[in-house]
Structure 1
Amino acid sequence: MDVNNLEDRIDVLYFATSDFVERAPFAEISVEKSEPDQSGTFTIEFGGGELTTRQRTEANHTFSDMIGRLANLKDALKNSCTSSGLMKQTVEDCINNCPELCLIIDINNAEKHGYPLERKERSGRSPKIDNIRKELAVPLLPGRFSNLLTDGVVGLEADVVDGNHKFIMDVRDLIEGATSAWEDFCVRHFPSKSQAILEKREQLDKRSVWEAEMASKREEVDLLVADDRAWIPISASEIHHHMFLRAKDSATSQVLATGKMRKTVEENSESATIPIFDVTIGENFELSKSEKVWEVLTTQTEEQLGLIHNYYWDLFNPPAFAR
């Protein structure tokens, strides 16, 4: 990497922070599910737990790397100011007007010179990273709460606290706020070197529009699918291709699958399975006809079924900018 090249520095910064900010893929989710109790409910444990010594070391390295890269961008920007005829104070003003950047500079200086700092602090709050932990993290897409078990991860998070151990903000908000401030500065003063920033923001704008459209569709789908009154019982022998079905366990009434029947099965065969594409988790199932309570969605016009199918298809096959 050319340390004097602002565009290279921005690319490396994005590489260091993007996964953490967007999804925090720290560990695969580990699920333990209890058996249903008499009320038909069950408990799920997500396997967060305490960090191991190695995980804590890796977490400290991750935070140190991100904070160091954000703090050290200050000098690269000052060098760019000099070559572009701008005052270096412009960079200092940007930092002083951004609470997140002030915290970043203080935390980075404390790592280099010791805590608490003897020199004057930017924030005046003696900030430090504390309470490093695992948290359940899922993609923030409308409707994806129903796909928690397949999309969830145990993510990395921590607190920023002051010298009195008072909470200031999450590390995630710290990283996002500081990154955004540097982005604004670069776009304003060095537009020719900000292509990566502009491309990233264009993708985020597209994602926001897509998520708003999906949220609107979700409201329509909920009216059709989420209302129990829209479902009526149906016998296994009456089920046929393209029906929108819901299967429940006959003993517990627990919903096993909700979706569209994929193909025709042998008529009047109690031993046959029902092939269903479960729209709530995006997976195919083969469910035995027996020992199930089958229900069919009553609002089954072609237009309504198309709306439901397209919504869930888009949800599980999002465009690249929405992943």
Structure 2
Amino acid sequence: MGSAGLMVGQILGQLPACLLLFRDIWKKEKNLIKKSVHFGSIKRLLIRYKKFPLFSTWSSLMNTSSVHLPVLLLAVFFSPAAVGQYTLANRVLMAPVSIIGSAISQAFLQKAIEENRKERLGEFSLLVFRKLLAFGFIPLILLSIAAPELFNVAFGPEWEKAGLYVQFLSVWVLFVFISSPLSSIFNILELQKENLFFNSLLFLSRLIVLLIGGFLGNDVLTIALFGITGAILWFYHVIWLLKLAGVHFKVTITSLLTEAGVGLPFFLAAAALKFLIKSDVLLIVLLMAVLMVFVLYRFKEFVINTGKRKGVTM
């Protein structure tokens, strides 16, 4: 059945699981469902949360479309090799970000709802922002510095260009990593229309820069434009979310500059190693050592701060 068969197969594959789940819920909670679920309550909730189907559905569609847009347009303008290089670079960057971001997002949503009721959403959002920035900034920067050498060693010389792509995409991915949990603020504050606006802006900007790069016929320039535009928009996204939560712009910028100052010695050390070391394997090993020092430093800092909050002398 071609592509239609994939969609039909996906639906048929999920349908039995949904029916079995409904059957189990009905057996265990049949009386509760009959008592509490009725037309009046459904109508009231539909009106109360109408923004979710009206805006969130389209917002998710725009977001998903923008995620797949680079692969489609790179395939139109460039060779399959360029598509493969981008796909590998994107997977290496996004795999840990997606796993960690998804886990943090679930915990953030639950806690943020409670903090919003106590009118402390801004304070809590700023705390999460600082933690994500502290633990995401230097690892992604180090990966960016070593990316060409890392891809050369891990995947072979023919994939070294994917490492170059990583260097252009890393700052964008950093702000995606930070924004991913914080994006729940839109739903907590019931600002689905604003979320739709951002995802529409993201889709249009990606479409424009990919078309520009494609017509110019330079895949590296295309990825560079894509990464820079994405970094700017997701940086704006972080600022906007924190502002909605009640965090002043100046406080957000101060946090960014503070973290940049903390990470500067690690960045300079990594840059010096990149300049001095000619062996790819040795460079990767030494940068992993720098990363381990950074992790230990952050862990010690976290333990000390936790001890101070509990009144423990470290």
Query: What interval of TM-score do these two structures reach, taking the shorter chain for normalisation?
Result: under 0.3
As a proportion of its length, which structure holds more helix? 2
Structure (1 or 2) with the larger CA radius of gyration: 1
| TM-score normalised to structure 2 length | 0.26
As a proportion of its length, which structure holds more strand? 1
| TM-score normalised to structure 1 length | 0.26
Q: Which is bigger in relative contact order (C-alpha 8 A, separation at least 6)? A: 2
